[in-house]
Amino acid sequence: MKRDLISITDYSKDEYLEIMKLAAEFEKNPNQNLLEGKVVASLFFEPSTRTRLSFETAISRLGGRIIGIADPGSSSTSKGETLHDTIKMVSNYADLIVMRHSLEGAARYAAEVSPVPVINAGDGANQHPTQTLLDMYSILKTQGSLDNINIFMVGDLKYGRTVHSLLMAMSEFENPIFNFIAPPELQMPAEYKMFLREKGIRFFEHREFTDIISEADIIYMTRVQKERFSDPIEYEQVKNVYILRNEMLAKTKPNLKILHPLPRVNEIHTDVDKNEKAYYFTQALNGVYTREAIISHIMNLK
Amino acid sequence: MKDNNKKKLKLKVSAIKDGTVIDHIPTQNLFKVISILGLDKIENQITFGANLESGKLGSKAIIKVSDRFFEDDEINKIALIAPHAKLNIIRDYEVAEKKVVGVPKEITGIVKCFNPKCITNHEKMTTRFRVVATSPIALRCKYCEKHTVGDQIKML
């Protein structure tokens, strides 16, 4: 039976750890010709430069060949072809499909239609599981473990799919603590808080940055987007509240690392970049190793 | 007065020898029930009544199908639109068995996902939901993973 990766919860804790192990191997030795002779379709129905480049780098380092759509305006979709038909056609050509789509559930549907494995590279506001796995790899690498991690999630916790998936995945590990820092309009949704309560996992909610971040092992920053606010005045009031500046890191733990799924706009001041606790660019590089690991796992190459 | 109504009802919807009587259907969903059960595509004798008086529903509909018996998973498909429906299985003019509708674990087709950005609202495809709660009914879309709850539930 073929294996896909559509939602982070499709995988078990053991599989997360298996992928982490493989990612560490690829970090030591990124160029391995495991995909030699294979064709991978990279279907970006919605543009995403960072994720696409990361996947295509991973495929290239594995020696695979890439066919694909990078500019949806020029693709068959704009001529009115259904997703079903596009996937049917492409799955005849390729051994693996990596896809991003603006509609939620598109990847799950593609996986049903396609006889070859599908990796979800983001479906609307729903899921982006490879981001979550690279976030986990970054936590494991910098903290030495995925157990006993105190994670601060900051910014847009309502719509941010990366924080939701990371919350679900980290809840599989021992004794996590979550701290949520968000404006009232962008709080962590009730269903996730209920999920944590049911699992007996501790979490705390805050309206702003305070000295409390001195307890953090990980600060996970996200972008607060203007278009999320129904009232522009509210945005103006909060837009500068969720900006991380270097001086705020003075009393934080030595093992603290700052993560961000990127792109950053202004929520992490550039003066943080030179701080050794800034980890977001390395985190992006970890994405290549993690995606090599995911592809190898799904294709049974290792 | 009540007895009179009962007599009238009997006159309006004649008895059947063998088959199934589906009672306590909300009138506005009568034709949806007919369509979901595929009664519009069979050749059995069917009589139905709508806008009948009902203490429970205000107005109810009833369907009588001759020589047709339903499996539980077939009949459970109407749970979302006729949750209080009661079935009488008739053999030789007598009620041989009574059944109530149960909410199934999964719903395939029938319901529309309420998320406008869900792929099911953009492709010609079958919707699929897992029933995650029953009162009110909450459905989790297999595709977009969003919950469609209570009044948000709309039939296709």
Q: What is the pLDDT of residues A243-264, one digit of tens each?
A: 999 999 999 999 999 999 998 9
DSSP A191: H
CATH annotation of B106-155: 2.30.30.20
Cβ separation of A84 and B124 shorter than 8 Å? yes
Identify the pLDDT of residue A272.
97
Structure tokens at B6: 């009962």
Q: Is B69 annotated as a binding residue?
A: no
Cβ separation of B124 and A82 shorter than 8 Å? yes
| In a shared domain, residues A109 and A154 | no
In a domain? residue A267: yes
In angstroms, the CA B40 to CA B34 distance is: 6
Task: Enumerate chain B positions whose Cβ falls within 8 A of a Cβ in A.
Answer: 115, 117-120, 122-125, 141-147
| In a shared domain, residues A47 and A123 | yes
- pLDDT tens sequence across A193-227: 999 999 999 999 999 888 899 999 999 999 988 87
Q: Does A105 touch chain B (CB under 8 A)?
A: yes
Question: What average pLDDT score do residues A159-187 get?
Answer: 94
In a domain? residue A9: no
Cβ separation of A83 and B123 shorter than 8 Å? yes
Q: Report domain extents, chain B.
A: 19-100, 106-155
- What region, left, alpha or beta, does residue B135 occupy, with left being phi > 0 and alpha being psi -120 to 50 degrees? beta
Residue B95 forms beta bridges with which residues? B90
Over pLDDT 90: what percentage of chain B?
A: 56
Cβ pair A284, A54 in contact under 8 A: yes
Cβ separation of A109 and B125 shorter than 8 Å? yes
In angstroms, the CA A35 to CA A117 distance is: 14
- pLDDT tens sequence across B127-142: 999 999 887 889 999 9
| In a shared domain, residues A121 and A140 | no
In angstroms, the CA B63 to CA B50 distance is: 9
| In a shared domain, residues A123 and A141 | no
From B121, which residue of chain A is nearest by alpha-carbon distance?
A103
What is the residue-averaged pLDDT of chain A?
94
b/e burial code for range A92-130 (CB count within 10 A of at least 16 → b)? eebbbbbbbbbbbbbbbbbbbbbebbbbbbbbbbbbbbb
Question: What average pLDDT score do residues B94-103 get?
Answer: 90
Query: Smallest Cα–Cα separation from A37: which of A87, A95, A90, A89?
Result: A95
| Mutation to test the B interface, candidates A83, A85, A109, A168, most B Cβ within 10 Å | A109
Given a cut of 90, is residue B74 above it in pLDDT? no
Radius of gyration of chain B from its Cα atoms, rounded to whole angstroms: 17
Given a cut of 50, is residue B1 above it in pLDDT? no
In a domain? residue A293: no
User: CATH fold of B19-100, please?
Assistant: Alpha-Beta Plaits (3.30.70)
Cβ pair B77, B103 in contact under 8 A: no
Question: What average pLDDT score do residues B19-45 get?
Answer: 92
Mean pLDDT is lowest, of A237-241, B9-13, B82-86, B135-139, for B9-13
**Band of residue A39 on the pLDDT scale cut at 50, 70, 90:** very high
Identify the pLDDT of residue A148.
98
- Structural domain including A103 reads 31-127
| CATH code assigned at A203 | 3.40.50.1370
| Mutation to test the A interface, candidates B117, B127, B130, B146, most A Cβ within 10 Å | B117
Main-chain dihedrals φ then ψ at residue A18, nearest 5 degrees: -60, -45
| Mutation to test the A interface, candidates B145, B146, B147, most A Cβ within 10 Å | B145
Which run of H or of E encompasses A164? Answer: helix A161-170
Query: Smallest Cα–Cα separation from A283: which of A255, A262, A252?
Result: A262
| In a shared domain, residues A134 and A186 | yes
Given a cut of 60, is residue B2 above it in pLDDT? no
Q: Is B49 annotated as a binding residue?
A: no
Identify the pLDDT of residue A77.
66
Q: How many structural domains are present in chain A?
A: 2
